[in-house]
Amino acid sequence: MAQWLEKLAHWYDRRQKLKRPWQELRYVALDIESTGLDPKKHQILSIAWMTIHPPVMHYGNAQYHVFAHGQELELGQSPTIHGLTQQDFLHSSEPRQTFGMLSRALNDAVLVCHHKGMDWRFLKHIEAEYGTPFKPLAVFDTLAFEKNKLERNPQQPIQGGQLTLSACRKRYNLPDYHAHHALTDTLACAELFLAQCYSNENSNRPAISLLKKAAN
Mean pLDDT, consecutive 10-residue stretches, the chain (216 aa), reads 71 88 96 89 92 96 86 49 64 91 97 94 95 95 94 79 93 87 94 93 82 87
| Integer angstrom CA distances of residue 154 from 24, 169, 190 | 34, 21, 28
Determine the pLDDT at residue 71.
55
> What count of other Cβ atoms lies within 10 Å of the Cβ of residue 182?
25
Closest CA to 120 of 147, 146, 138: 138
Q: For all residues of the chain together, what is the average pLDDT?
A: 87
| Amino acid found at 1 | M
pLDDT in tens, 61-100: 999 999 887 555 554 444 445 566 666 666 788 999 999 9
What is the rounded distance in angstroms from the CA atom of residue 108 to the CA atom of residue 18?
A: 10
Print burial letters for 74-113: b (CB count within 10 Å at least 16), e (below 16): eeeeeeebbbbeeebbeebbebeebbeebbebbeebbbbb
> What count of other Cβ atoms lies within 10 Å of the Cβ of residue 174?
16
